[in-house]
A = this chain, B = another copy of it.
């Protein structure tokens, strides 16, 4: 099937590219709750947290490259991570590495990529934004959801992919849907009624029981012109600033304009700038995603992704280096010292993270409190650890 056969309907898939689609990967956030593996200088997305041999960033590239093509894969990250990202992704085009002079939150990051695409390819270009540090287990189902989302975006919608919940999770926000849409090529697309915050357990159970709620994975698919149009309506100075940078991006004045304009841009998340207000106005759609997904938000979340952690000590790293007796949970063997071993005796749901300069011992139950350790080390003036 050629692009012309797909027509205005479902974009070409069948294992290949989605024509006219660009993938944007904002790679930000320190992943503090995954300390001490994740650090400010080597954040979560640079680590192989699944034992696959590829970092989360590389796995994200591997998932998106077949859909968008290397030329249409844009990465937005802080200047500090430029070298690490280039080393991790040798096929990333230099002009597609968008280095932020300072952190300006997700709206500026994704908006800059949208503006660059709009400038290069016109307002009809469709972008999909996907975090650099999430885990997805069914690339085929993911690709199908993206294809439906692109079709829906071409109809002018701001589209999100909502994850079909496997349980009443309290660590994610939810997306409530209303009526089905009738977009060609997107049979599963639904109107979004609202985005809701992370619920308590009882509320989450109620959400899941209705069948109308999906997890908000922060995936947005939208036409570049549509996105910047909405942004201009809400925050015109931000939209104008991003377009000014984009106009200079593929020219010798890139850095000069970037440095002049970027500091003035407002810090705001795309959820607040676009998703919530546009949803309230009836302009957001959701494509349900039935693939396995996790944001790997903390050690407990990671342990749930590693087979066996519930009944024994699962290992990220060299299995032969770890011994568990009367114990369960997760050991990250990351000391870098050849032959070094970890023994766990009689601690259920343990989390041990062994890195060269920092060892963490906790339990899955306390995973959310790891941030407190990072703060405490800062207070002790051990910024080298964080």
Residues of A within 8 A of B (CB): 36, 320, 323, 325-326, 337, 339-347, 350, 352, 354, 356-363, 365-366, 369-370, 372-373, 376-377, 380, 382, 384-385
Contact = CB atoms under 8 A, between A and B. Distances in A.
A365 to B, nearest CB: 7
Nearest to A352: B361
Contact of A359 (B347, B354, B369): B354
B369 A346 contact: yes
Contacts of A36: 343
A353 B350 CA distance: 15
This chain: copies in complex: 2
A361 B343 contact: yes
A343 B384 contact: no
A358 B357 CA distance: 15
Given A323-B380, A359-B359, A380-B320, A373 B343 contact: yes
21 contacts: A323-B373, A323-B380, A337-B356, A340-B356, A340-B359, A341-B357, A341-B359, A341-B385, A343-B359, A343-B361, A343-B373, A344-B361, A345-B360, A345-B361, A345-B366, A345-B369, A345-B370, A346-B362, A347-B347, A347-B362, A359-B359
A373 B366 CA distance: 26
Contact of A342 (B341, B359, B382): B359
Given A365-B346, A377-B343, A385-B341, A325 B359 contact: no
A211 B32 CA distance: 57
Contacts of A373: 323, 325, 343, 345
A339 B363 contact: no
Contacts of A347: 347, 361-363
Nearest to A364: B346
Top 3 A-B pairs, shortest CB-CB distance:
A346-B366, A345-B362, A342-B359
Given A341-B377, A341-B385, A345-B373, 6 more contacts: A323-B377, A326-B366, A339-B384, A343-B360, A346-B363, A347-B363
A168 B350 CA distance: 32
